């Protein structure tokens, strides 16, 4: 399955791998030295998010990746990530603010009146289901680092108190747990970004919050030649898992948003279910988010992070994706090196297990039962 993402032509100093490494490009990543180092370090595919950076910046980065990959004699692929369907906040004066624990915040949608709270009033891009929002419902921003608790709710307004504060900004992701539906169909932002990405000839297109087979059909009608990846980030997607595994060429376990939409203790089992569904449907499987989260600042990984990578490989995942570790982390090349080394070690273990299983089966077939 590795070959469907890239043609394995690794750095001679590295061992061949079946599991691909995908690195996220950030606003400061579109420079020659960074891209050259990442390709030499073992990156097989670069992901760029269409929600950040200009089309011009993405076009420059794509050109550099192709030029430098050719210099290294490697087939390095490109994936555009469409994120127009993700719920986000807007309307902050000055585009950003800081909320402290205990502050009151008003969240509006449509024509809701935010009162006179200044930088403590924001708009939600998507409406919420008022029948499912009750006092105490959690409202999460910035991958759950900012948490609000609903005090009073109506269809047009949520009045909340800050439980865990911090910096907020326009465009930040917003989750109202269990109470937001993802609209069907591609929105105008996604279609515009999709056409731009197709004009660059990217290899893969990822769609955030893929929830139905129709999502895959809509993408395929516009980009029939690209590898289409559905990002699993919402309970509705899990409910339609079988259909999605057939409609898309692959599925991504996007653990960041998925872990906000469902109870965090359910995430490992959802990941396993998604990867298994991909194996059964001969679809690509990608697991993303927080593999080496601590290495955004630290030079060494935690033992839990290393174990997470190895377990994903042992379960048969086709590709592992680094996000903040390479998008804005302080040690992007080191993070890639750590991931590559752990993948190589896990694949050696997989090969050894396969060899032992083959030997055991051969012995059994010959009338000798191994102990």
Asked if domains 2-83+186-359 and 89-176 share a fold, the reply is no
Residues 72, 74: Cα–Cα separation, whole Å: 5
Q: For residue range 50-75, what is the model confidence (pLDDT) as tens digits?
A: 988 889 999 999 999 999 999 999 98
Per-domain boundaries in the chain: 2-83+186-359, 89-176
Q: Going by CATH, does the domain composed of 89-176 fall within 3.40.50.300?
A: no
> What is the reported pLDDT for 93?
85
Given a cut of 90, whether residue 10 has pLDDT beyond it is no
Given a cut of 80, whether residue 357 has pLDDT beyond it is no
Given a cut of 80, whether residue 112 has pLDDT beyond it is no
State the chain's mean pLDDT as an integer: 89
Q: For residue range 12-65, what is the model confidence (pLDDT) as tens digits?
A: 556 678 999 999 998 777 789 999 999 999 999 999 999 888 899 999 999 999
Residues 259, 268: Cα–Cα separation, whole Å: 9
Question: Hey, CA dihedral for 64, 295, 9, 36, is it positive or negative?
Answer: positive
> What is the reported pLDDT for 116?
60
The architecture in CATH of the region 2-83+186-359 reads Alpha-Beta Barrel (3.20)
Q: For residue range 113-146, what is the model confidence (pLDDT) as tens digits?
A: 555 667 899 999 999 999 999 999 999 998 899 9
Q: How far from 244 is each of 60, 203, 223, CA to CA, in Å?
A: 33, 20, 17
Residue 218, C-beta contacts closer than 8 angstroms, at least 6 positions apart: 185, 186
Q: For residue range 224-271, what is the model confidence (pLDDT) as tens digits?
A: 999 999 999 999 999 999 999 999 999 999 999 999 999 999 999 999
Residues 230, 225: Cα–Cα separation, whole Å: 15
- The pTM (predicted TM-score) of the whole model is 0.88
């Amino acid at each position: 399955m590795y070959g469907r993402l890239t043609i394995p032509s690794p750095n001679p100093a590295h061992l061949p791998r079946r599991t691909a490494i995908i690195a996220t490009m950030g606003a400061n990543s579109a420079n020659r030295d960074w891209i050259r180092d990442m390709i030499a370090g073992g990156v097989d595919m670069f992901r760029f998010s269409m929600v950040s950076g200009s089309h011009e910046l993405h076009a420059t980065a794509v050109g550099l990746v192709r030029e430098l990959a050719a210099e290294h004699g490697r087939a390095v692929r490109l994936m555009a990530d469409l994120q127009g369907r993700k719920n986000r906040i807007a309307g902050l004066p000055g585009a950003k603010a800081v909320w402290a624990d205990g502050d009151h915040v008003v969240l509006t949608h449509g024509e809701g009146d935010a009162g006179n709270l200044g930088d403590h009033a924001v708009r939600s891009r998507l409406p919420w289901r008022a029948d499912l929002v009750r006092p105490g419902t959690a409202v999460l921003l910035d991958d759950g680092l900012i948490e609000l608790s609903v005090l009073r709710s109506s269809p047009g307004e949520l009045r909340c108190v800050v439980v865990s504060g911090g910096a907020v900004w326009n465009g930040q992701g917003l989750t109202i747990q269990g109470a937001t539906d993802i609209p069907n169909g591609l929105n105008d932002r996604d279609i515009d970004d999709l056409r731009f990405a197709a004009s660059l000839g990217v290899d893969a297109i990822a769609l955030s919050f893929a929830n139905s087979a129709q999502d895959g059909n809509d993408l395929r009608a516009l980009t029939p030649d690209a590898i289409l990846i559905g990002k699993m980030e919402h309970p509705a997607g899990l409910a339609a898992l079988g259909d999605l595994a057939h409609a898309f060429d692959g599925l991504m376990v996007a653990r960041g948003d998925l872990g906000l939409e469902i109870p965090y203790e359910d995430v490992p089992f959802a990941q396993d279910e998604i990867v298994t569904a991909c194996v059964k449907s001969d679809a690509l499987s990608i697991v993303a988010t927080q593999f080496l989260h601590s290495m955004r600042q630290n030079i060494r990984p935690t033992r839990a992070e290393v174990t997470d990578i190895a377990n994903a490989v042992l379960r048969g995942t086709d590709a592992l994706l680094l996000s903040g570790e390479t998008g804005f982390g302080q040690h992007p090349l080191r993070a890639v090196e750590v991931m590559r080394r752990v993948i190589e070690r896990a694949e050696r273990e997989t090969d050894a297990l396969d060899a032992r299983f083959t030997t055991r089966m051969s012995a059994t077939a010959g009338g000798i039962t191994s102990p």
